[in-house]
Amino acid sequence: MTIEFLTPAQALERVRSGAVLIDVREAHERAAGHAQGALGVARSQLEADPFATVPSADTAVVLICQMGGRSTQAARALEAAGFRNLASVEGGTTRWQAEGLPMTVPDQDQADFYDRYSRHLRLPEVGEAGQRRLEAARVAMVGAGGLGSPAAFYLAAAGVGTLVLADDDVVDRSNLQRQILHTQASVGRPKTDSARTTLNALNPRVRVEPFAERIHAGNVERLIADADVVIDGADNFPARYLLNDACVKLGKPLVYGAVHRFEGQVGVFDAGRHRGQAPCYRCLFPEPPPPEAAPNCAEAGVLGVLPGVIGLLQATEALKLILGIGEPLRGRLLHFDALGMRFRETRLRPDPDCPVCAAGREFPGYIDYARFCAGG
């Protein structure tokens, strides 16, 4: 029998006469709303074993998708399997809804979730399970400035459930050239408050916890204790060494980033969870460089877009770590040269004599990081 093509109104009449209506879209698509009474069976599942859904080949079956293409393909597959009474809905769910036919619609929160993250949900590597994992995740970020701005923006957009932002500074006009979380109206406000306003406007599902304190040995564990990933957006060496040591002690992956003039670096230091296999920041820099060899942005300047590139790479690594996909920059340092538009990679090995992360070594305790970085 030839496959019939029905308008939504005709399909509804056919269903009311006893036909089985099957929505062949993916689960996350159906969750945003589907024709009332439809059975939800993804096309691939239906085609693999149609008799698991419709035991008799003589049953009248009406297939529906989003626009009509997939339902037609599914109908052809069922026809090849021996089904004799098949129809596809022209215009699919889109037309069904536009014509005001009865729909089953999820509650507002569920609808927001499926609509907001629909592009993630289409990725098999993410899907609904991965998106729920992101929503349950907690990322601690030190710095709501040049690196923290793009990283926080994209992590919030991606649906990371909780962002803890640590920064004790206020917004200055000179920050606006690169710190895109902040605007002219934010000048003089604490950066954590300005960031929270911006991120909540972007995605109200994300919880932003301001940590308006300068990190030190007495509060760093309170900042990162419950974090799944820690992002280093600090602009000074004492904070970087402190973060590294705390992450090693507590077994947290640390996504490192740094910028200088026209160049940047990104890496993942995960020695706390992989002792003797992955390096920590101290394996790369056992001793801090002298201050004159590493001036900060206020002294040396920085190309405004450069923190954006590096911060986005940090956000990418954080998402991969949370989702458990891809190959993190663990044991690798990625260098970016903006003027030459080149990336290069340096392989890093754990230092077997590292004072903090060497296999079997007890945590030595926190030190006076400011004095250490000053050469004292």
Q: The domain containing residue 164 runs over which residues?
A: 120-373
Q: pLDDT band at residue 284, thresholds of 50, 70 and 90? A: very high
| Positive/negative CA dihedral, 292, 298, 300, 305 | positive
| Overall domain count for the chain | 2
Q: Which two tokens stand for residue 161?
A: 């459930």
The answer on 66 and 130 residing in a single domain is no
pLDDT higher than 90, residue 28: no
Contacts with 283 (C-beta within 8 Å, 6 or more apart), sequence order: 271, 348, 349, 350, 351, 354, 357
Residue 115 is assigned to a structural domain of this protein? no
Residue 112 within any structural domain of the chain: no
Place of tokens 């954006």: 308
Residues 153 and 297 in one domain: yes
Dihedral of CA 187/190/195/196: which sign?
A: negative
Please report whether residue 114 resides in a domain: no
Same domain as 365, residue 218 = yes
* CA atoms of 105 and 115, how far apart (whole Å): 12
Query: Which is more confidently placed, 292 or 218?
Result: 218
Domain stops at, among 48, 77, 107: 107
* Alpha helices, DSSP H, located in 137-174: 148-158
72 and 189 inside one domain: no
State how far the Cα of 21 lies from the Cα of 297, in Å rounded to an integer. 62
Q: Which helix (H) or strand (E) holds 128?
A: helix 127-136
Give pLDDT, residue 293.
Answer: 59
**Which DSSP string do the residues of 56-80 spell out, in sequence order?**
-TTS-EEEE-SSSHHHHHHHHHHHH
**HSE toward the beta carbon, residue 170, CA cutoff 13 A:** 5
pLDDT at 1 over 70: no
Annotation says 354 is catalytic? no
Can you give the pLDDT at residue 31? Answer: 82
pLDDT at position 262, please? 97
Q: Is residue 16 scored above 70 in pLDDT?
A: yes
Q: Is residue 322 part of a domain?
A: yes
pLDDT of residue 376 exceeding 70, the answer is no
Which of 53, 74, 107 marks a domain boundary? Answer: 107
Q: Specify whether 245 is located in the same domain as 367.
A: yes
What's the confidence (pLDDT) of residue 3? 94
Distance CA 136, CA 139 (A): 10
The type of residue at 236 is: N
Instruction: List, for residues 51-67, the tens digit of each pLDDT value.
Output: 999 999 999 999 999 99
Which CATH number fits the domain that encloses residue 292?
3.40.50.720
Judgement on whether residues 89 and 184 belong to the same structural domain of the protein: no
CA distances 222 to 213, 217, 219, Å, are 11, 10, 5
pLDDT(198) > 80: yes
Complete edge-to-edge strand list for the sheet that includes strand 39-40 = 4-6, 86-89, 61-64, 20-23, 39-40
**In this structure, are 66 and 179 located in the same domain?**
no
CA distances to 203, 317, 322, 339 from 132, rounded to whole Å, are 15, 18, 11, 39
Number of neighbours of residue 154 by Cβ within 10 angstroms? 18
pLDDT at 235: 87
- The stretch 113-120 carries a mean pLDDT of 92
Written as six digits, the tokens of 76 are 């052809």
In a domain, 64, yes or no: yes
**What is the structure's pLDDT at 343?**
98
Residue 100 has a pLDDT of 95
Instruction: Pick the range with the lowest mean pLDDT from 110-114, 231-235, 298-302, 318-322.
Output: 298-302
Residue 360, class by beta-carbon neighbours within 10 Å (0-12 exposed, 13-18 middle, 19+ buried)?
exposed
- 242, 339: one domain: yes
How far is it, in rounded angstroms, from Cα 284 to Cα 329?
A: 14
**What are residue 310's phi and psi, to 5 degrees?**
-70, -40
The percent of residues in the chain predicted with pLDDT above 90, rounded, is 87
CATH, residue 95: 3.40.250.10
Query: Distance between CA atoms of 50 and 215, rounded to whole angstroms?
Result: 59
Instruction: Give yes or no: residues 174 and 293 share one domain.
Output: yes
Q: How confident is the model over 191-219, as a mean pLDDT?
A: 96
| Residue that is last in its domain, among 54, 80, 107 | 107
pLDDT, tens only, 236-254: 999 999 999 999 999 999 9
Amino acid residing at 288: P
* Whether residue 259 sits in one domain with residue 207: yes
Catalytic residue from among 247, 297, 354, 373: 297
Question: Looking at the predicted structure, is the pLDDT value of residue 294 above 70?
Answer: no
CB-based burial of residue 322 (10 Å sphere; 0-12 exposed, 13-18 middle, 19+ buried)? buried
pLDDT in tens, 145-196: 999 999 999 999 999 999 999 999 999 999 999 999 999 999 999 999 999 9
Shared domain check, 334 and 220: yes
Q: Examine residue 323 and state whether it is found in any structural domain, yes or no.
A: yes
**98 plus 125 within the same structural domain:** no
Mean pLDDT within 291-300: 66
Mean pLDDT of the chain, nearest integer: 94
Look at residue 317 in the predicted model and tell me its pLDDT: 98
> Under DSSP, is residue 191 helix (H, G, I), strand (E, B) or coil?
helix
